Structure 1
Amino acid sequence: MRADPEKTLKSKNYRGSASFATFLIIGPTCFFLGILFASFPYDFPLLWSKAPLPPNYLDTLETHLRFMHQSPPLIGRLLNLMIFTGFTGFLSKLFRPHEANILFDGSSLLLYLIATGIYATNIVKGLRAASGPGGFEGSRERHEGPFSGEVELSREDSLRVLSASHTILAIVLVGILTLQAGQWYAEKAAADESEELENKEKERKRKKN
């Protein structure tokens, strides 16, 4: 049986696109997109440009990454706070979920988990490598599987992997914003449809009387 869109949107348990929980999701997502945009000038020559890398470019990028990783503990705590703020928004919207928001918010939460995994593994690991002895020079990656062993990556390849992780993370975060915008559009369409049906019903009663 199909749920009534009007009753669903007016339910006190339903937290849609106009709720404060949505702000708790969109705020951290845009915040992290801003950080990635600030890193784009460093990532562009590695991933998107065919021109030769400028002299001392790798040294400059590695110094930038080392500076970020060695920033005061307050910076890392603020980043973690923003991550948990996003999770708070998702948990609030998905508390006693309705079918009207389980698709958009459930999918957004899945993407948010993927983004958190990329940050906690690839990006944090890359920052630690930049701050380690010798930086990315001659870094080794351990691979466990059918062909286990260590793979030695060049300094440029290691930095390119980190830049690619930034790009993937940005795409995932844009996906979250797209789903939240889709939820707003679906709610607006349902409200317009409900209003149209209500106007038709009033017009029918008026003509009948």
Structure 2
Amino acid sequence: MPAKGTAPFATFLIVGPTCFFLGILFALFPYDYHVLWTTPTTYKHAQDPTVDPRDQYFALQENHLKFLHASPPLISRILHIVIGTGLLGFTMKLYKPSEANMLFDGASLVLYMCGITVYIANIVKGLRTVTAGAYGGETPESGAQVMQAMWENKETDYIGREDSLRVLAASNTILALVLVGILILQAGQWYAQRKETEEIEEMDKIRDEKKAAKAAGNGGNKKKQ
């Protein structure tokens, strides 16, 4: 039974998109793992110290990001619809909010907006940079028209290929932590309101028992009289 005040449908509209985005990030994790978290070692690389063991993983990540950015418009539209669904859930829960809503849902909304900011500022911009090959502020061999408006007179805003790919991998990690934080806050709200409901029910039960005992005592006194 849902705790009173949890707005199950609105909570579903928040938790559903959050888990959806975590699933996308989990699918990207195999590409980010060797780029960001560990250095793979093989016998070939041990023989040739001039070879960076991460080179093949940078290439895999770069190709995958280019493929993602070249996805049909339907993919990005679905993604934006899911983002809007989460915002709708927060709007429903924060309409005439209680104290618990302001605390848990307000903090969740702040994290959600931080996630959207990371998506727009880092991930979308990074995908365009990777697709155009505009690393280090250099003019790319292809896709110049795509990036022209972004890097014109802003060459210092760009870093090298490997660092750009690491930034994208780190952005995915940050976004995953933000989304996990939203789930923790929503679970915390459910638990807090459930405990509050149980305590209120317990107090009501004790009050009813006292009233019943008092009524029984008054009835016995009347019979004696």
By the TM > 0.5 criterion, same fold?
yes
List alignment gaps of at least 5 residues for structure 1. Answer: 1-7, 10-15, 143-147
- 1:64 correspondence with 2:64: yes
Q: Residues 65 and 130 of structure 2 are in contact (CA less than 8 Å); yes or no, is this contact kept in structure 1?
A: yes
One-letter amino acid of the counterpart of residue 18, structure 2 = T
Q: CA RMSD in A?
A: 2.1
Q: Residues 136 and 158 of structure 1 are in contact (CA less than 8 Å); yes or no, is this contact kept in structure 2?
A: no
- 1:32 to 1:152, Cα distance in 2 relative to 1, 3 A: closer
How many angstroms does 1:50 deviate by?
Answer: 3.1
Specify the alignment match of 2:179 in structure 1.
173
Q: Residues 69 and 131 of structure 2 are in contact (CA less than 8 Å); yes or no, is this contact kept in structure 1?
A: yes
- 1:151 to 1:83, Cα distance in 2 relative to 1, 3 A: closer
Specify the alignment match of 1:30 in structure 2.
19
How many angstroms does 1:150 deviate by?
Answer: 1.1
Q: TM-score, normalised by structure 1?
A: 0.83
1:9-88 residue pairs with structure 2 within 5 A?
Answer: 9=4, 16-52=5-41, 53-88=53-88
Specify the alignment match of 2:136 in structure 1.
138
Q: TM-score, normalised by structure 2?
A: 0.78
CA shift digits 1:136-155 (9 cap, x unpaired): 5435798xxxxx97165221
One-letter amino acid of the counterpart of residue 32, structure 1 = F
1:172-191 residue pairs with structure 2 within 5 A?
Answer: 172-191=178-197
One-letter amino acid of the counterpart of residue 98, structure 1 = S
How many angstroms does 1:19 deviate by?
Answer: 2.2
CA shift digits 1:102-160 (9 cap, x unpaired): 1111110110000000001100011101111xx25435798xxxxx9716522111100
CA shift digits 1:40-64 (9 cap, x unpaired): 0111112211335355222221110
Aligned-pair identity in percent equals: 54
Q: Residues 7 and 93 of structure 2 are in contact (CA less than 8 Å); yes or no, is this contact kept in structure 1?
A: no
How many angstroms does 1:39 deviate by?
Answer: 0.4
Q: Residues 34 and 57 of structure 2 are in contact (CA less than 8 Å); yes or no, is this contact kept in structure 1?
A: no
- C-alpha distance in 1 between matches for 2:193 and 2:71: 43
- C-alpha distance in 1 between matches for 2:198 and 2:112: 30
Specify the alignment match of 1:157 in structure 2.
163
Structure index of larger Rg: 2
Match of 2:156, SS state, is strand
One-letter amino acid of the counterpart of residue 80, structure 1 = H
Q: Residues 31 and 60 of structure 2 are in contact (CA less than 8 Å); yes or no, is this contact kept in structure 1?
A: no
Q: Residues 104 and 179 of structure 1 are in contact (CA less than 8 Å); yes or no, is this contact kept in structure 2?
A: yes
One-letter amino acid of the counterpart of residue 50, structure 1 = T
Larger helix proportion, structure 1 or 2? 2
Q: Residues 35 and 54 of structure 2 are in contact (CA less than 8 Å); yes or no, is this contact kept in structure 1?
A: no
- 1:112 to 1:97, Cα distance in 2 relative to 1, 3 A: same
Worse overlay, 148-157 or 25-34: 148-157
Specify the alignment match of 2:105 in structure 1.
105
